[in-house]
A = this chain, B = another copy of it.
Amino acid sequence: MWSWAAQVGRWLEVEAALARACADVGLVDRAHADAVASVCTLPSVDLERLAAETSAASTPIIPLLRQLTDGLPVEASSALHHGATSQDILDTAAMLGIRSACSIIEEDLRGMGRRLAELADQERDTVMAGRTLLQQAVPITFGLKAARWLHAVDRHLDRLRSLSFPAQLGGAAGTLAAYGEQGIDVAGRFASLLELCDATLPWHAEREILHEIVSAVTAVSGTCGRISGDLLLLAQTEVAEVVDGRAGGSSTMPHKRNLADATFAVASARLAEASAASILTGAAMGHERSAGSWQAEWVAIPRTLEAAAVAVERTRRTLEHLRLDREQMRDNLAQTYAAEPLAQALSVALGRAPARAVVDELVDLAARGHADLLELARRDARVTAAIAPQTLDDLGDPYGYLGSTSALIDRALQRWRQEKP
């Protein structure tokens, strides 16, 4: 996608489209435009030489044009790059690459959404500990967790679908000067040939559209990094509620269950954010075309989109291979779940403070032994003296404290299903 050949290929595609657009409005001869189009193919270009010349010229377009001109009849050469500036070609080609990259990201996100919708539905009653500040709080279900992730994915898809990918054509200072009266027609035709959107104005210096795209994409990779990060936490040896079905231990540490894909998703999300920063920040002073900010984008755009795509793909793969340990989820929850109802029940008999002291003690014991808090309570004389066995049993049912969990899952699923085109 962002290899040298792929990039050069897009520049050629753009130059060909420009020549055709100029012919379509009658600014250049049709035969000349055809000649340009036929030379604008990868085999016409010596890629290695171009790389070397790019480095010397500080721009790829001038040496590319030189190579193309060599293969063109002299009379056709004026149809090549007619009225354009290098940035017109580079920005338009970047948009072609961005659009493809976004469509791959979208496809992966959709796959992730399908998997999450499945998990949300199937695991809607899979009770587990809700955790806040990295401490167990009150119960949730894994289905709700999946539904929350699904909803994030769902909204990202909306956001990605709302993006537009404009062509860039402005000429040396954004006035379309070389096309006389026909500038706007050429620009419209050019965009249309490339199936890009026709920008209201050239955007050499107004990078808002890029800001919008890059924000949306890094929001996606940020979400993926967060999901993968949460899965890493759930897969910790001591938590062990999920595992990547592919995770084998290392040869030297047979007990390890590393989540390689999730780890790299976290890393890639960080890299996407970092690369994006050179696009998103730094109000560049620069009039009609900036000195420095734009050149940084040449590198930052591919890096950002590549890293984001990796974050999405690896998170999707992790979710696909995810195996839940529902029993472990329930056992982990048992360690704390009954604490609050137990404290309430005990305080009726013992008063608030003494009840709390008993519960605190039992909670610490449960933590130490990864034990079922209620099990410990049943063996505690202070508790059994105060609470009848049947009552005690009822305290341990997390299903009684799930509130709107199922309704919330339905909401997320409903929205997801509506959205599907």
Contact = CB atoms under 8 A, between A and B. Distances in A.
A208 B335 CA distance: 32
B281 A273 contact: yes
Instruction: State the oligomeric state as a number of copies.
Output: 4
Interface string A347-363: 00000000010011001
| A contact patch SS | helix
A350 to B, nearest CB: 14
A77 interface: no
A115 interface: no
A403 interface: yes
Q: Which of A156, A184, A229, A260 has the most CB of B within 10 A?
A: A229
A252 B200 contact: no
Contacts of A276: 274
Interface string A294-330: 1110111001000000000000000000000101100
A147 B274 CA distance: 31
Given A152-B208, A215-B215, A278 B270 contact: yes
A175 to B, nearest CB: 4
A16 interface: no
Q: How large is the interface on A (under 10, 10 to 19, 20 to 34, 35 or more residues)?
A: 35 or more
A67 interface: no
Given A175-B130, A274-B278, A288 B137 contact: yes
A26 to B, nearest CB: 16
B412 A201 contact: yes
Contact of A134 (B224, B236, B248): B236
B152 A363 contact: no
A126 interface: no
B264 A403 contact: no
Interface in A240-277: 240, 248-249, 252-271, 273-277
Contact of A222 (B58, B205, B280, B299): B280
A72 to B, nearest CB: 17
A282 interface: yes
Given A133-B258, A270-B296, A405-B175, A253 B138 contact: yes
A78 interface: no
B287 A130 contact: yes
Contacts of A256: 133, 135-137
B176 A404 contact: yes
A367 B138 CA distance: 23
A175 B219 contact: no
A65 B339 CA distance: 23
Interface string A165-209: 000000111111111110110000000000000001111111011
Contacts of A52: none
A363 to B, nearest CB: 5
B285 A229 contact: yes
A236 to B, nearest CB: 5
A178 B405 CA distance: 11
A132 B260 contact: no
A373 interface: yes
Closest 3 CB pairs of A and B: A130-B173, A225-B283, A266-B292
7 contacts: A130-B173, A176-B404, A215-B219, A230-B287, A236-B238, A249-B339, A274-B300
Given A230-B285, A238-B370, 15 more contacts: A135-B236, A136-B238, A137-B173, A155-B209, A172-B253, A175-B401, A228-B283, A236-B238, A253-B340, A254-B340, A262-B291, A266-B291, A267-B296, A270-B282, A325-B367
